[in-house]
Every structure is written in structure tokens, then in C-alpha cells.
Structure 1
Amino acid sequence: MSLTTRIRRRGAALLAAAAAVGLLATGCSSGGSGGGGDASTLIAYTGQAGDYQINFNPFSPTKIGGLGTIYEPLFFFNKAQVADPVPLLGTEQSWNEDGTVLSVTLREGVTWSDGEAFTADDVAFTFGMLKETAAINNIGYDGEAVAVDDTHVTFTFAAPAFVKGPDVLGTPIVPEHLWQDVNPTEDVMEKPVGTGAYALGDFKPQAFTLESNPEYWGGEPEVKQIRFLSLSGNQAGADAIAAGTVDWQTGPIPDIQNTNENFPNYDAYTQWQNQMVLATCSNADLGCEGPQTDPAVRRALYYAMDRTQLNSLAFMDTASDMSPTFALTPSQDAFVSSAVEEKTVPMEPNAAEAASILETAGWAKGEDGIYAKDGERLSLTVEVVTGWTDYITALDTIASQAKEAGIEVKSAQSSWNEWTEKKGSGSYQLAIDSLWQGPAADPYYVYNYFYASSAGAPVGETAGNNYSRYSNPEVDEAVAQLALLDPADTAARRPHLDAIQAAIVRDMPYIPILTGGTTSVWNTTKFTGWPSDEDLYAFPAVWSAMDAAEIFKRLEPQG
């Protein structure tokens, strides 16, 4: 069966023939930042380009680790497939009939890694802190968490809140006895304390280590040590796979479809979840500056892209279709509004449509072939992380394509920390990134995370997930109404989904590219228990922290 056929038939997970090296991850990686050990040490590369800056605050946009591994939520939600939530700190959960009270039973006998007992007071404290601190409240939590006793907590909402359940249950819990004196928006937590299967070991800017927790409530994991490396980028990650000095990385390597033939000890596995975008600082009213604040410019750039060429040159044909509504294709196709003319993004460029959109909006082509308006040339700079070779290649390709449509596109490379700060503060025009899915197969979560104005902020202030700073009262109202409805009531939800999709397809604060093929390359000789088509128990991406934490606990060292 061909790769293309498998993508079309499965639409979810592709087990690419896999790969590996004859060398195991026991030596040092390039730059001296590696370090293997015994067979129970897993070497991971998340794509970190440049030195780590210590920050284990699970609510910080610049956190470098700890979600799931150190700080656990009440339940784990598997983004890779529809499944019941997996009990972690919580063991049972249920709603009252009208969706205003969520009751959770907590696991008994759990301790924090400093030996203190975990209780319902820690849960109530965590959510009280979220509610009081808008800058970290990316899920829009507005309930009242009350510790009924040590092992029972209730979340009460003023209105039905069924759709908020997965976000609440998937939020990391922190210890009240330590965090009552923490500034959650500024403190970086150099010595994190959690309930998870791992605790922080040593930290250096080039690498940090998580050590297994022998007192973990679920039993000490078989993988005793996880070492996260900092390398120079995707090429260094690919080189590390070739050298056998990394056990798991999620990112491109050359000839990825033939990984098994090239590196017989490794497998490659692809899933389609994250929707790649050119994110824009879109809102002039909140201080964004540049041509990208004009929706016509954003739509013109959307039509200027040759996505077939992009997929081939930048993503080795591992990317797949995407809907401009951001309902995930094909698993969420039923959510796409019938009024949306283009159900999926155009794969071929449409320069005539791009020109028509720009000229209708008052842009005129200059002598150099680039459009201008009111003395402003249509020149855009896209932020990208140094070393992210697939995205860098994508931007080089987009620049060439955009020029054909009269749009100048330039790229600016910076470290991951700088790139993150620019997005958060709004000091950018465009940034290549991807929007992630929520805990359930429902586009509501993408709309609530990335389009609700409550998750934005004026330029110069730190935004939440809505770093485009998009603000539309109609979208806000529709998102708020969806939050009140039972997800099973499709008829009642339809008008609100239609309203959101009409607005975001028209305004495009996040310009759709393609759905990224998220491919992990992992060492199957050294470890077994990786996700597969037959047992897709977590989304297989080393940088998807909650999923990776579940994978680390499932793996069994060989040797």
C-alpha cells in the first residue's frame, strides 16, 4: 500500500517503516550535551535550539519541561484518538444533570516529591490561583473549586460548562504549601515539586535530566532517567539519530519514509494533529503594526501559497489537508459549516485571486512588482526559530511564491526563547507556528484557545494562547454560547460554529498552511512499548508534554 493511500484511508496515524542506527545512545552528542548511561536512560530531543534557560513553572509560556512528568493533572486525555480520560490524580469524575457542577474523587495515598501529602486543598488552591491570575488562565476557568474533604473536590460554575471539563481535568496541579508564596506569572521554579513519576535531576544549559520517582503512586517507571538535550536545530537532531546518540526525537530527518532501511534500530511514526500557520499580530487597535493588520493582506497571502510545492520541499510530503475553519480534517469534518465554500485549503496558488483581494482593498502594484498602499510597501517579516530547518525551508519557499503575487516575505531567525517572547508581547508581524488541538475531538477548543479575546492582550503585555490578539465580539459571543451547551446537542451548537467559522475564514488572523505530519523517530532496540496503530495510547510527540509523560511510563528498556 502506498504512503498516499494509507494517509487517505487512515486519516489519523501512519506507521512509517522505521529505522535506526547500530549505535545506542550511550555516548555524548555533538557539542558535549549528550550523555547516555545504562539501558534505562532515555535520551530525548524536543527540538530545543540553543541553551535551556531554567524554568519549570508549568503555567509559564517559557517553561522547558515538567508537564505530566513532574506536575500531573487529574486525568490524562489522549489527543490521538477518541478514548475515555485516564485517571491520574483523579479516579472518578461526573457532572450533575445541568452541567454546572463537576465532582471529582481524588486518588488516596499520593504524596508530593518533598514528602508532603497531596489533598483536595491543593486542587482547590491551583484553580483559585488560575481564576485570580488572568495571565496564566489560558483555559478561561471561571468556576469555584471547593475541597469537600481530602479526597473529594467540586467545581461549580454559574452556567453549564460541559466543554470546560477536559481543560479543567487536564490542568497541572501544584502544591499549595509551596505555591502560596509563588508569583505564578514571574517565578521560574528552579526546584519543582510535583506528584509525577519523575523529579528534576541535574540541570545545565545544554541538557537537563529527570530522575524516576521511587515513591510514585503508580510505581516507579522502568525508564529511570530521561535526559533532554539542547542541540543546534533539526540538522543536529537528524545527525544524532544517525549517530545513535538520541533515542527519541520528533522532527524531520532526511528520507524519513525509509527510516527503517537507513537506520535499522529505529522506527518512524507519523500523526496529523497540529495545524501549521503563519500567525499574525493582527489587531491594530491593540497595537499591532504592519501590513498584516489588513485582513486583505492575510487572505492574499493565503491564496499565494503553492502548498503542493511546500509539502514536497519543506515537509517531505508528510503534511496533509487542512480546513481554513481549523476543524481537523478528516476527523472533525462534520463540524465544518455548509456555508464555507472552500472546505480545505487550496493546494495550488491563485495569484489572480490574491491580486483581486489586494486591489479591492486599495493596494496597487509598484514598479518593483510589490504592492503598496498609502506609501507602505507590502513587505512582511516572519519570525522562525533558528535550526527549525523544515520551517525555514517553508519560509524560503513561501517567500518565492509570495513574490509572484506581489508580496515581499522575509524571515528572521532567533532562539526559541526570543521567538516565544516576541509572540507573547506582540513584537512581531508574522510567526510560523502551529495551533494544537484540545483534549477532545471538537474545534471548540481551538476557537477558545486561539480566538477568544480574553486570551489576548495589548501589544507590550503578555498574551495567552491568542497571541494574534484577534478580537471579534461575534466570535467571543459564539464561543461563550458553545461553552454553555452539551457537546452532544449538535443542532443547538451549529449556529455558533457557523458564526465562528465565517469570521475566522474571512479575517484569517492565523493564515492556514497545512496540517503538519508530526513524525517521531524512536529507538525500538533500546525500548519497547512505543505507541502504534494497534495501541495509540498517546499522541506520539516528544514535545507534547502530557502525552510524552504517559509514553515514558509505558516504555520498557531492553538490554
Structure 2
Amino acid sequence: MPTRSLLPTATVLVTASLLLAGCAGSTDPAAETAGSSGPVDGGGLAFAIANDPISLNPSGTGSGNDTLYVTRQLVDSLLYQNPDTLELEPWLATGYEANGDATAFTFTLRDDVTFSDGSPFTAEDVKGTFDDIVAAGASSQAVSSFVGYDETVVVDEHTVEVRFTTPNAAFPNATASVGLGIVGAATREVPYDERGDGSALVGTGPFTLEDYTKDVETVLTARDDYTWAPDALGNAGAAHLDSVTFRVVPEASVRTGGLESGEFDVIGGVQPNDVSIVEGAGLPLVSRANPGVTFGLSFNLAHPVVADIAVREAVASAVDAETVRDTSLNDLFAVATSALATNTPSFADQSAYFSYDPEHAEELLEDAGWEEGSDGIREKDGERLSLDLVWITNFGPNQTSLELIQQQLKEVGIEVELSGSTVPDFVARQDAGDFDIAWGNSSRADGDILRTSFSAATTRFAVDDPELEDLLQAQLAAADAATRDDLLAQAQERIASQYYQVPVHELTSILGTQDAVHGLSLGADSRLDSLVAVWKDAE
């Protein structure tokens, strides 16, 4: 796909009018479905999700997509990334100015925004939020966006400058994420690790938290004074809905059944094998391929067995990704050909490194000294070629995919033990280095996600590769889009040639809805967008 510049190549003021010019042909979800009578105000939305939000602290750790579905409604971001154009557009900021070497970004802010507690939104809140994330360190999932952070300076009440000691060209894009959503002073006064239940959350979003019952539901109530949604969403005023209730329904079949019966207005995480059921019931689907790091196998290089590139390449040659996709998923999901998904800016195809060739896998293992044992599993110096693979149980096809991969690897003499768990347990295993292979993905519409996944400073995979590190840091310093694309293409090739990750399939986010629901959309990261423009037909 065409790549787009998300950062000025020189010191240029990006005003609201200039930013918005990029979305002239973009989709207006509300306008498409409103019909002649226009949207209906009122009513509540029952939204079934698979997992408890875990933490309602927008920048906290241990959260997954379902968490971000909820927190996106409570906090706004400085900029909005249009999912149709991938351009950055105004939100809390009317525009930004970048200096020539991408070490300073000056944001001009709206002067008509308030937090849910009535306090005005100012430059102090931007500084406070960013300083808060950096101070939280590893407790924040958003801290990786602040590499080289120096300080945030309040220029005046509605102007703020974010300064870095080293170039950070990806920062403007990062400000569009939920993790960098702005929180009020009342939130920041509460210790960071005590904000998980959301009771301290004060945001500028179109909804506020009414009630959170762990593992049961999260209830949000609309603000009546909200008037600053991104233009691309099609409703700059208060939300049409009165309330949204996110209900935790772990079983995919129960979510699908609840949609068919009318118990739920929207369900998240529609499984591939349920797509035909939803379509057969005549109910609409909303889907979007996820940008970012593809679903694949990433290796813990701190463990000697998989630190051997021959073993990693053998795994890559033994995995038949197309069969995995066809068996576990459907045509809405693409076979992956790189660490980045095809709709990620700076994607570069690396399929030449990932041909299914089990005979080559066996040759690699033989040459590396792994000889076939009595039960078919290879051994070397008395050690069995047995690998521990960790994965998250929040996406149904994961188990089917991994059981098939397990069988494919067994055919070449590699034993795999599958260890499925919840998101917090998965993260804890990774943090402890207690795994050989991790199965997962990460969604973000910026190639810089390779840095957060594979840089020595942030990786959970013990990658220590100076050549790759130079590329990842250089792309962060490149203000020119074409230069950045080239560097990220080189980084993808380095990751592929060293088999740090074996890409298997891309993710597609799928929601199911009732016919009566209108204006529902997925954002640039393919997670649930703001619900400010969503409405339901009058009953």
C-alpha cells in the first residue's frame, strides 16, 4: 500500500485546516447509515466482549484489545489517526509543529475542552500526563513511546512542547493511541498502580465510568457537554447513546448466540467459524485487518537452544502458514509474509525467507547436531529438542493454529509444549523470560512497532543485534517518510533473515452488530473507535 508521511519533513506548522484536508475522501460512518431521518438520540448499547478490561488506567500494562475498547471511550488523544487515510488529524490538539531533527514537537491545543470533573483541559494536563507515564516506567505500556524523553514544557495555557534528547519521529503517531490519552489532575494525584478499577479516572472522552464490576460488566454514561470529537467520526457533539454496557462473555458461541437472540447490540471478537452464523442470521459484520506485528512465533534468545539460528530457521521451514490459516481461520485473514502486516505503513514483503520446506528443516537440524530419537523427537548431547510455547487464550483460533503448528514441528523432530494463559499471566511469563517461543501479535498503524517489539531496550525476546538496533533507532530519527520506509524495510529483512520472528497470519478484528446499530467503526489500529457517533433505531 502507499506509504504516508505522518511527520513534517521540516519545521512546519500543521494547522487544523491542513490536517483535515487529508480526509476529504474518508468515510463518515454516521452519515452513511443515518438515512433521511438522521441519527436517533438516546438508548443504551449492550456490547459483549471476551475479557475483563483488567485495568482502566489508559496507559497501564497487562491490558488487551477489550480493555482498549472501553478506555477509548473515556479518554481522548492529542491527535486522531484517520483509519481511511492513515493521516493524523486534530483532536485535542488543533495541530503540531515538528523541528527539523524530530526532537521537539509543539502542539497547539483546543481551548474549549473540559474533563469529566468539570476542570478545563490545558497544557498542564498534557505535561502532567506525559510526565506521569514516564515516571511510571515499566508499569506503563505507553512508556516505549517516550524513548529519549527530556521534558514537556508548558509554553502557554494552550501550547505545549514535548522535547527529546534523541530524535523520535514516531511520537506524533503515538499521541493518537489510547495509551497516551490525556488524564486530569485528579487522576494523576492517585498513585499510578492504584488506578486500575477506574474510580480515579478523569478524562475528556464522550463517556464517563458509572460502574465497573470485575469479570462482569463496565457501564459507561454519556456526557452531555462533549463537543470535540474528530471530524472524521461524523459527530462533533455529545454521544447519541445515553449509555454503553460492556459485558464480559468469555465464550464466543455465547456472544454469537446473544447477538442472534437480541440480547446484545454488538459483540466483539467474532470468531472465524462464527462469521457464517452471523451472516446467515442476516446481521451486519464490521471488520478491518489489523496493522502492526503479525501473529507469529517469536523466540527467547536468552535460551541457548533457540538462540541457534539453525533451530529458528528450521522452525520457519517446518511451519505451513497457509495450511494454518486455511484450517483455523478464513479468507478475512491474510497469510503473513513479514513481521509487519500488509496494511502497516512501511510494510515490506519478506516471503522469500518463509517457504514451507520440511526437508530443509530436517537438514538444518541434522547439520546442527540434532539427531532423531527413538520417539522421533530430536536430541543433542543428551538434551531433548523440546520447546515451551506461551500464548494467550483470548482468541479462539489460537489453540487450533498452535495445535497444528505443534504437529507440523513434531514431524521434523521438534517437540512443543503449549502453555496457554490469560493476558496478565502471559505478560508475567514473558517478563520473567520463562518461555522458548511466544505466540502473539501487536496492533499499531506505524512501523515503529518493530522497535517496541525487537529493540534491545524494550524487547521481551532478548534480541541483542547491533545491526537491527541501528536500523530501528535510525528510523526513529528519520523525519523524511521515504527514508523511514527504507530503514524499516531493512529492519524487516533483518528480522526475517535472522528468524527472530516467524510470521504466520495477520489478524482481522471482527464485530457483529444488530441492524438497528449505526455508525460503528474500527480505528486505524483496528480496535474499536470512539462510540460518539453510534446510534440505534428508535424502538
Residues 143-185 of structure 1 deviation map (CA, whole Å, 9 limit, x = unaligned): 4211111111112334544332211454212223431452x35
Identify the residue that residue 242 of structure 1 maps to in structure 2.
260
Identify the residue that residue 11 of structure 1 maps to in structure 2.
none
Q: Is the 8 A contact 1:75 1:86 kept in 2?
A: yes
CA 134–387 in structure 1, closer or farther in 2 if over 3 Å, else same? closer
Q: Is the 8 A contact 1:207 1:227 kept in 2?
A: yes
Secondary structure of 2:457's partner? helix
Asked if 1:308 corresponds to 2:327, the answer is no
Decide which of 335, 338, 344 is 1:321's aligned counterpart: 335
TM-score under structure 2 length normalisation: 0.80
Asked if 1:266 corresponds to 2:288, the answer is no
TM-score under structure 1 length normalisation: 0.78
Asked if 1:468 corresponds to 2:480, the answer is no
Decide which of 194, 210, 222 is 2:220's aligned counterpart: 210
Identify the residue that residue 48 of structure 2 maps to in structure 1.
45
Distance 1:437 1:380 in 2: 29
Residues 382-425 of structure 1 deviation map (CA, whole Å, 9 limit, x = unaligned): 23334632111111111121111211223223233323332343
Amino acid at match of 2:533: R
Deviation at 1:197, TM superposition (A): 0.8
Residues 417-465 of structure 1 deviation map (CA, whole Å, 9 limit, x = unaligned): 3233323433333332113233x4xx2x12222111221xxxxxxxxxx
Q: How does 1:409-558 map to 2 (within 5 A)?
A: 409-438=416-445, 440=446, 443=447, 445-455=448-458, 466-490=459-483, 494=486, 496-497=487-488, 499-523=490-514, 525-531=515-521, 538-539=523-524, 541=526, 544=527, 548-550=528-530, 552-558=531-537
Residues 308-338 of structure 1 deviation map (CA, whole Å, 9 limit, x = unaligned): 22112210333213223x2432665x7538x
4+ aligned runs moved over 4 Å, structure 1:
none
Distance 1:214 1:417 in 2: 35
Deviation at 1:187, TM superposition (A): 4.7
CA 327–153 in structure 1, closer or farther in 2 if over 3 Å, else same? same
Distance 1:197 1:160 in 2: 34
Identify the residue that residue 229 of structure 1 maps to in structure 2.
247
Amino acid at match of 1:504: I
Distance 2:414 2:161 in 1: 53
Identify the residue that residue 234 of structure 2 maps to in structure 1.
none
Asked if 1:190 corresponds to 2:189, the answer is no
Q: How does 1:83-232 map to 2 (within 5 A)?
A: 83-135=86-138, 136=140, 137-141=143-147, 142-170=149-177, 171-182=180-191, 184=192, 187-191=195-199, 192-205=201-214, 206-218=216-228, 219-232=237-250
CA 185–354 in structure 1, closer or farther in 2 if over 3 Å, else same? farther
Distance 1:91 1:478 in 2: 32
CA 423–86 in structure 1, closer or farther in 2 if over 3 Å, else same? same
Q: Is the 8 A contact 2:76 2:182 kept in 1?
A: yes
Asked if 1:381 corresponds to 2:381, the answer is no
Distance 1:214 1:482 in 2: 43
Identify the residue that residue 414 of structure 2 maps to in structure 1.
407
RMSD between superposed Cα atoms in Å: 2.9
Q: How many residues align?
A: 478
> Any gaps of 5 or more consecutive residues in structure 1?
1-37, 456-465, 532-536
Amino acid at match of 1:509: Y
CA 293–210 in structure 1, closer or farther in 2 if over 3 Å, else same? farther
Secondary structure of 1:554's partner? coil
Secondary structure of 1:538's partner? coil
Distance 2:470 2:297 in 1: 23
Q: How does 1:10-49 map to 2 (within 5 A)?
A: 40-48=43-51
Q: Is the 8 A contact 2:430 2:460 kept in 1?
A: yes
Amino acid at match of 1:236: V
Distance 1:254 1:188 in 2: 34
Secondary structure of 1:300's partner? helix
Decide which of 66, 69, 78 is 1:74's aligned counterpart: 78
Distance 1:227 1:181 in 2: 26
